[in-house]
Amino acid sequence: MKVDAYGTWHCGDRTTKVYTKPQTQQQKHSHNLAMKKPIYVTQPSLPPLEEFIPYLEKIWKSKILTNNGPFHKQLEEALCEYLDVEHVALFNNGTIALITALQALKIKGEVITTPYSFVATAHSLVWNNIEPVFVDIDPATCNLDPERIEEAITPRTTAILPVHCYGNPCNTERIQQIANTHGLKVIYDAAHAFGVKHKGESVLRHGDLSVLSFHATKVFNTFEGGAIICPNAEIKQRIDHLKNFGFADETTVMETGINGKMSEFNAALGLLQLKTIDNAIKRRRQTEARYRNALVNIPGITLLPDPADTIGNASYMPIMVNMEYPLSRDELYQKLKDAGINGRRYFHPLICDLPMYSKLVDENRTQLKSARTAAENIICLPIYPSLLNKQVDEVADLISSAEDSTGTTKTF
């Protein structure tokens, strides 16, 4: 059994699917691929199991399982160093970290955010009784468009919650300028941005807080996990209380906290994962370059521009399927799927179109044209460190040899 991004369980093997006799060259190609193991949009990196055993032995010996244990402390220190940030507060997952970050800064009223993200971004607001106000994205980065933020500010606005989508850095300077002008806090959902450097420094050093996810599908995973990046010791202290029910010491409960603690098991795994993260990101970037090279000249396929002054983490491989392409985005998605290649339509549907949000959106106040275009046209292709060059080439070949509705095969 395999877990796909966001909890879709895949049982058995796709080869059990019965195929009718393939006819065109294209169908033969799909057929051949379908006989192989399916490829998913991502596959978690894991260390060799035997390397994890000594860590488990230490946990079994010490009987310290959680509550800021030795591995937890070590991982916080190691991540500060690796990410080049001042303070890290570890969490059991990214969503609880987001919810806690909003609590820590006492955010309320309305918060400006992007509809083009994973649902947890907006859910974290609603769990704090905050109203999300969705603002359109910049099509070049798929990030919140700073030029659209000010028109969405009302007297109830208290903060901005942007996402570094696909690890592309937000325009942090412009966002901070707007926040300063209007007295707003900025919390970055940096779930995609582990290790991303922008203009020579960590992209996590911006805003009031940044939130990471270490979920199985992310670049750096601890099975489940997350963190808040804090600029100073005071806010880290407050967050550490909040993630432990509000306890400041054995008997003092400072506030209504939650249980957001990362266990020793996850922290130990994180320490081990850190040893190979540079190679993992390097390999992802090679794969991204290979895809870019193979896909750049296919009519109707657009790649997002490589962000300027950025050392990215190649966490996702989004491509945009345009009108000139012989297939619609969903047809291409299906064609890949039939060949055992599972891309994902991140992020479709838009958060604001989900039933619990659709009644909130006032399209007159916030036109969401670019977000809609992205949600309708983007597919994220498989990318992960163990993906083979051969597999990347297979995916690219399938995309470049597209059949239109008349059944003729076009090879570009």
Ligand X SMILES: *Cc1c(COP(=O)(O)O)cnc(C)c1O
Cβ atoms 259, 234 nearer than 8 A: no
* Cβ proximity of 97 and 228 under 8 Å: yes
Residue nearest to ligand X (CB): 94
Among 26, 30, 42, 93, binds ligand X (CB under 6 A): 93
Q: 185, 197, 218, 243: which is the annotated catalytic residue? A: 218
DSSP output for 134-183 = E-PEETTTTEE-GGGTGGG--TTEEEEE-B-GGGPPP-HHHHHHHHHHHT
263 touches ligand X by CB under 6 A:
no
Residue in 43, 66, 113, 117 binding ligand X, rule: CB under 6 A: 117
Tell me: does residue 95 bind ligand X (CB under 6 A).
Answer: yes
Helices and strands (H, E) in the chain, number of each type: 13, 19
144 binds ligand X (CB under 6 A): no
Secondary structure class of 38 (helix, strand, coil): coil
Q: Given the complex with ligand X, which of 163 and 272 has the nearer CB atom?
A: 163
Stretch that binds ligand X, among 37-45, 49-57, 93-101, 108-116 (CB under 6 A): 93-101
Separation of alpha carbons 161 and 309, rounded Å: 23
Distance of closest approach, residue 248 Cβ to ligand X, in angstroms? 26
Looking at beta carbons only, is 136 or 189 nearer to ligand X? 189
Residue numbers 191-230 binding ligand X by CB under 6 A: 191-192, 213, 215, 226
Distance (Å, rounded) from C-alpha 231 to C-alpha 70?
23
Assign 3-state DSSP to the chain and report helix, strand, coil percentages, each to 5: 40, 20, 45
Contact predicate 113/135, CB 8 Å: yes
Mapped onto helix, strand or coil, the DSSP state of residue 279 is helix
User: Which span (21-29, 55-63, 144-152, 186-194) binds ligand X, by CB under 6 A?
Assistant: 186-194
> Least distance from C-beta 94 to ligand X, angstroms?
3
218 in catalytic set: yes
Whether 87 and 75 have beta carbons less than 8 Å apart is answered as no
User: 92 and 215 in contact (C-beta within 8 Å)?
Assistant: no
Gyration radius of the chain over CA positions: 22
Distance of closest approach, residue 334 Cβ to ligand X, in angstroms = 24
CB of 326 to ligand X, least distance (A): 31
- The residue within the footprint of ligand X, chosen from 121, 157, 168, 222 (CB under 6 A), is 121
Residue 117: CB minimum distance to ligand X, A = 5
Tell me the C-alpha distance between 405 and 190, whole Å: 40
End-to-end, the C-alpha distance of the chain in Å comes to 37
Question: Residue 141 Cβ, how far from ligand X at the closest point, in Å?
Answer: 14
DSSP H/E element including 26: helix 25-34
Element (H, E) at 27: helix 25-34
Among 76, 136, 189, 208, binds ligand X (CB under 6 A): 189
Nearest one of 213, 217, 216, 239 to 226, comparing CA atoms: 213
Instruction: With contacts defined by CB under 6 A, name the span among 116-124, 127-135, 244-252, 359-367 that binds ligand X.
Output: 116-124
Draw the binding track, 145-164, toward ligand X (x: CB under 6 A; -: no contact).
------------------x-
Q: Which of 120, 184, 269, 352 binds ligand X (CB under 6 A)?
A: 120
Binding site for ligand X (CB under 6 A): 93-95, 117-118, 120-121, 163, 189, 191-192, 213, 215, 226
Residues designated as active site: 218
